[in-house]
Structure 1
Amino acid sequence: MEETIVSIIGGGACGVATLAELMVQLKISGKHKSTKVLIIEKRRELGVGLAFGTGQQGHLLNTQADLMGIHSFEPKHFSFWLKKNGEDNNPEVKGGNNLDQSYATRRLYGKYIQEQVNRYLNEAKEIGLVIEIIQDEAIDLIPEKGRWQIKLKNGPNRSADHVILVPGTPKPNNFPEFDGLKNYFGFPWPSEPIIKGIPQDAEVSILGSSLSAIDAIKTLTDSGHYGKISLFSLDGLMPRVQPKDESSYGRKFLTLSNIHRIRRTAWRKPKIKELFRLFQQEAENYVGHPIDWKTTERKGIPADQLLEEDIRIAKEGGDAFINIL
């Protein structure tokens, strides 16, 4: 039987999830002994990637544990892993005693991912599936006679019948003219260059105010930084505070049925205005009365005021905007 080669480019968390699902499909279909899997990853370790290779305890996942399972149809797999390993009192698990609704550190999640890597690599040996791990960087794909030539940065080209791209989030390149300047950092990951390159008393400007900006602040403050830190953002908004226990809500307006009804009766995709109108109906149904939508505007309000109000809302279980979405 002719061997089929499948290449997974990227060995981070998504690459591991891809490998796990691929192994399941190959074993069920009986193709595991006629298939070879190539995993191409430039880092020495599989699993952690750029997102979960951080050593900073202040870097938290932005999604609660019971939605972070590595398997797409088993979202609670990670929270089960936390319980199985007795992580109830681990300082790297935040949010109280309910592990399902907790927020773990990226570092702890990386440990979970690496355990899954080892498990599937061992299971591959047991079932006779050949997996080759190539520590290199794929820089180009060249179609050739129905197959793919994978050009590597350092090693010789490799061939594959199928290629799955899971390279993760690329480093932004918004200001290439600043690259190489010692006091400019184009990306907060990995965190070591920031820690080593910024004096603790230096004034720091961060472009953006989203979750990555919060991670950058945590990187600095966890490492003893005491200089002024300023955030610059087009909308001046920070991430919403998430409730520990979200209120359950069954949607009645913003549903797949209503969206399909628009497609079926108008013979077109729904317009953004139509989707937003469904969301408005949903939000007003949630609160039980009409909403003055002008009062929901958050732009122009000082961040500390918004944060105080967001904390209050989160403690009460969230509002329509958090729980419906």
Structure 2
Amino acid sequence: MRFPDRVRRVVIVGAGLGGVATAVRLLQFAREPLQVVLAEQRPEHRNAGVAYHRAGNPWHHVFNIQAGRMAMFREDVDDFVAWANDEADRTGWPREWRDFVFTESGPAPRRIYADYLTERLADAARQAADGVTLAEVDGEVVDLAVDDGRVRVVIENSADAGTLVADHVVIATGLQERELPFAAEVAGHPLFVRHPYSQSGVERILAVSPDAEVAIIGTLLSAYDSAALLLRRGHTGTIHMISRSGITLRTYPTDHQHRVLDLPAPQLHNEGYEGRDNLVRRLKDEWERICGVVETEHPDVAKAVVTERVSKSWEPYLPEVLARVPAPDLRALLDSYSSLLATLRVSAVAYTTEIVDAAMADGGRISLVTGKVDRITAAGPGKLAVSVAGRTIEADLVIANFGREPDYERVRSKLWQNLLRGGIAVPHHRTGRGVEVDALGTLLGQAGSRSGPISVVGAPREGDEIVRYGRMGAFSFNLAAIKNHSVGVAAAVLNRLESCYDEQADELADTLAGSSDSEVREAFAYSVALDVHRMAARRLTTREVLAARLDKSLLVLHEAVGSTDAALRYAVNTAAVVKLNDLSVTPRDLRCVLGLDEPVG
């Protein structure tokens, strides 16, 4: 593994969705020479991750949300659907999808997302500024060491093994796998599928006899995928879907579009904290009240998505509410209501749910079992015994879902174990989910200060997303969060590395935006609009034109306020990032709000 050491280098750990999205933004935003290194320990997961890689996703596995919400660019909501209809190479696609016209509210197979990410990454590399390059390396990053403002990245288990020196590291390691103590006795058993999104897992599911009795641990999205996979190939045996909550997925309306409603804030009637039970009672009362408001004042909202609308509207208020809750109680609440929280903001498309829900109907092939799985053991030739809620289910195949581990003190990743052991990372104190980061996503150490030039995107920021933004369930780490993380982290990295920015000008943006001089305010707003358009532009020539106009606009500001070009550029860029990551509007509305389809000025 040989790379020149003189060029500034950013190493991204993990080439799934979070890593690719951040790499694309760095390649788009960078104006000075930079090498972006994208490291992935599993070559088959490159540009896909566990969720989207081809071998683990048969064609019937579709996104749980609509195709129109899968664009990797929040400011270009139609990008994925446009790519799937007009750019995707459909050679080898099955008949069902070969001539399919993708729509905003319709389904799309998950496996094609790898092609989308691969092509958008290649596009970004081709359209990068002079001296801005992309390098891809295979291998497992097992440790980071901060030394004199740079980071030594230790890579193992590949031809690219060795130590790479980086000016900044972005950790995008995705979801961490949870240990399943109840399945310890059957971990290597051929009738136990621990990884249903792997090639071997899919093959074992498809190989089971059509009349076999199957037990699926879980009743949410992964469980629906496994059940639907069996049903679509004609399974006639009983399928037991098992979970502690018994909660199942709702179905999105066929014409569903994401919206943000202006709803009343939750009224908890007390500034203090009266205990966990009282908080839950008050929240439930307020939840029912606001759901009633939606049904009365917004009758056009389908019942299936009322909770989605209320959950989204509550996000701005939840940080203040959660700040009153002691950490032990907050952790207990998140653990107790995790399954419920997972379904409040997200449903699934009918392509997946209809076949499963039909099989759950009275006398159907799916039996819904509510209860905690205590133990899975071998039960003689060709059988496993699942002990749950005082009964035993004998199954010919048992499928366990991904089972993510939110507590990073329990993860098995060598990298995270070493970072925690060395104090470079610490578990999120308030929630016990993910690790501590600051508002820019920079990793924090034991003293609460930055550990060095190391940033985080995606799942490791779950706890911070909950307490800082009130984002619950999968929305604290899924595609929606990653879109914002990638913009914010890429901009913060370049603010630090590029000579054209002065990070010390933290308060200048507020000063300029609130200036008593209307000409200064207008010049600042114009500069911010130019930078928003520059950051959103994917063609290099467009960005160069906008950058030249921005330079002229900054000269006007400099003459008016006297601040340095680097300070002004930093103020403008930070304000532009805030606008690009505006959570108060939907992605479709964001494009309109930002005026991206109109020329600036």
TM range (shorter): 0.7 to 0.9
SS of alignment partner, residue 142 of structure 1: strand
Could you tell me how far 1:319 is from its partner in structure 2? 5.1
Confirm or deny: 8 A CA contact 1:251 1:282 kept in the other structure.
no
How far, CA to CA, are the matches of 1:23 and 1:247 in structure 2?
A: 31
Aligned-partner residue type, residue 107 of structure 2:
Y
Q: What residue is the counterpart of 1:20 in the other structure?
A: 24
**1:221-232 alignment runs, 5 A limit:** 221-222=231-232, 225-232=235-242
How far, CA to CA, are the matches of 1:274 and 1:280 in structure 2?
A: 10
Q: 1:217 and 1:250, CA in 2 relative to 1: closer, same or farther beyond 3 A?
A: closer
Match of 2:71 among 69, 72, 97: 69
Match of 2:81 among 79, 82, 101: 79
Q: What residue is the counterpart of 1:245 in the other structure?
A: 255
SS of alignment partner, residue 139 of structure 1: strand
Q: What residue is the counterpart of 2:292 in the other structure?
A: 284
Q: What residue is the counterpart of 1:130 in the other structure?
A: 133
SS of alignment partner, residue 58 of structure 2: coil
SS of alignment partner, residue 227 of structure 2: helix
How far, CA to CA, are the matches of 1:205 and 1:98 in structure 2?
A: 33
SS of alignment partner, residue 253 of structure 1: coil
Match of 2:62 among 60, 63, 78: 60
Q: 1:318 and 1:91, CA in 2 relative to 1: closer, same or farther beyond 3 A?
A: same
Confirm or deny: 8 A CA contact 1:195 1:220 kept in the other structure.
no
Q: What residue is the counterpart of 1:40 in the other structure?
A: 39
Q: What residue is the counterpart of 1:298 in the other structure?
A: none
CA RMSD of superposed structures (Å): 3.6
Confirm or deny: 8 A CA contact 1:47 1:110 kept in the other structure.
yes
How far, CA to CA, are the matches of 2:125 and 2:95 in structure 1?
A: 28
Q: 1:78 and 1:136, CA in 2 relative to 1: closer, same or farther beyond 3 A?
A: same
How far, CA to CA, are the matches of 2:96 and 2:309 in structure 1?
A: 27
Aligned-partner residue type, residue 15 of structure 2:
G
Higher-Rg member (1/2)? 2
SS of alignment partner, residue 50 of structure 2: coil
Q: What residue is the counterpart of 2:191 in the other structure?
A: 183
Confirm or deny: 8 A CA contact 1:244 1:317 kept in the other structure.
no
How far, CA to CA, are the matches of 1:152 and 1:22 in structure 2?
A: 22
Confirm or deny: 8 A CA contact 1:207 1:233 kept in the other structure.
yes
1:152 corresponds to 2:155: yes
Aligned-partner residue type, residue 13 of structure 2:
I
| 139-148 or 105-114, larger mean C-alpha shift | 139-148
Q: What residue is the counterpart of 2:174 in the other structure?
A: 168
Q: List alignment gaps of at least 5 residues for structure 1.
A: 290-312
Confirm or deny: 8 A CA contact 2:26 2:36 kept in the other structure.
no
How far, CA to CA, are the matches of 1:92 and 1:218 in structure 2?
A: 17
Q: What residue is the counterpart of 1:121 in the other structure?
A: 125
How far, CA to CA, are the matches of 2:291 and 2:98 in structure 1?
A: 32
How far, CA to CA, are the matches of 1:93 and 1:101 in structure 2?
A: 19
Q: What residue is the counterpart of 1:307 in the other structure?
A: none
SS of alignment partner, residue 288 of structure 1: helix
**1:228-307 alignment runs, 5 A limit:** 228-246=238-256, 251-254=261-264, 258=265, 266=271, 277-288=285-296
Could you tell me how far 1:116 is from its partner in structure 2? 1.1
Q: 1:210 and 1:319, CA in 2 relative to 1: closer, same or farther beyond 3 A?
A: closer
Match of 2:214 among 190, 199, 204: 204
Q: 1:146 and 1:174, CA in 2 relative to 1: closer, same or farther beyond 3 A?
A: farther
Q: What residue is the counterpart of 1:51 in the other structure?
A: 51
Could you tell me how far 1:247 is from its partner in structure 2? 7.1
Aligned-partner residue type, residue 156 of structure 1:
G
How far, CA to CA, are the matches of 2:222 and 2:258 in structure 1?
A: 28
1:3 corresponds to 2:7: yes
Confirm or deny: 8 A CA contact 2:85 2:101 kept in the other structure.
no
1:91 corresponds to 2:105: no
How far, CA to CA, are the matches of 1:117 and 1:79 in structure 2?
A: 17
Confirm or deny: 8 A CA contact 1:149 1:160 kept in the other structure.
yes
Q: Percent identity among equivalent residues?
A: 22
Could you tell me how far 1:145 is from its partner in structure 2? 3.6
Confirm or deny: 8 A CA contact 1:69 1:78 kept in the other structure.
yes
Aligned-partner residue type, residue 212 of structure 1:
S
How far, CA to CA, are the matches of 1:60 and 1:93 in structure 2?
A: 15
Match of 1:104 among 100, 108, 114: 108
1:193 corresponds to 2:201: yes
Aligned-partner residue type, residue 320 of structure 1:
V
Q: List alignment gaps of at least 5 residues for structure 2.
A: 274-278, 312-601
How far, CA to CA, are the matches of 2:237 and 2:193 in structure 1?
A: 17
SS of alignment partner, residue 133 of structure 1: strand
- Corresponding residue pairs, total: 285
How far, CA to CA, are the matches of 2:14 and 2:62 in structure 1?
A: 22
Deviations 1:226-282 (A, max 9, x none): 44321111121211111112378663435xxx47x99xx9599xx666655554332
SS of alignment partner, residue 151 of structure 1: strand
Q: 1:274 and 1:146, CA in 2 relative to 1: closer, same or farther beyond 3 A?
A: farther
How far, CA to CA, are the matches of 1:272 and 1:127 in structure 2?
A: 56
| 162-171 or 186-195, larger mean C-alpha shift | 186-195
How far, CA to CA, are the matches of 1:90 and 1:273 in structure 2?
A: 52
Confirm or deny: 8 A CA contact 1:171 1:187 kept in the other structure.
no
Q: 1:165 and 1:71, CA in 2 relative to 1: closer, same or farther beyond 3 A?
A: same
Q: 1:141 and 1:228, CA in 2 relative to 1: closer, same or farther beyond 3 A?
A: farther
How far, CA to CA, are the matches of 2:14 and 2:152 in structure 1?
A: 16
| TM-score, normalisation: structure 2 | 0.42
Q: What residue is the counterpart of 2:306 in the other structure?
A: 320
How far, CA to CA, are the matches of 1:183 and 1:247 in structure 2?
A: 41
Q: 1:78 and 1:166, CA in 2 relative to 1: closer, same or farther beyond 3 A?
A: same
How far, CA to CA, are the matches of 2:106 and 2:260 in structure 1?
A: 23
Confirm or deny: 8 A CA contact 2:67 2:105 kept in the other structure.
yes
Confirm or deny: 8 A CA contact 2:195 2:201 kept in the other structure.
no
Confirm or deny: 8 A CA contact 2:105 2:257 kept in the other structure.
no
1:218 corresponds to 2:236: no
Confirm or deny: 8 A CA contact 2:145 2:153 kept in the other structure.
yes
How far, CA to CA, are the matches of 1:179 and 1:212 in structure 2?
A: 19
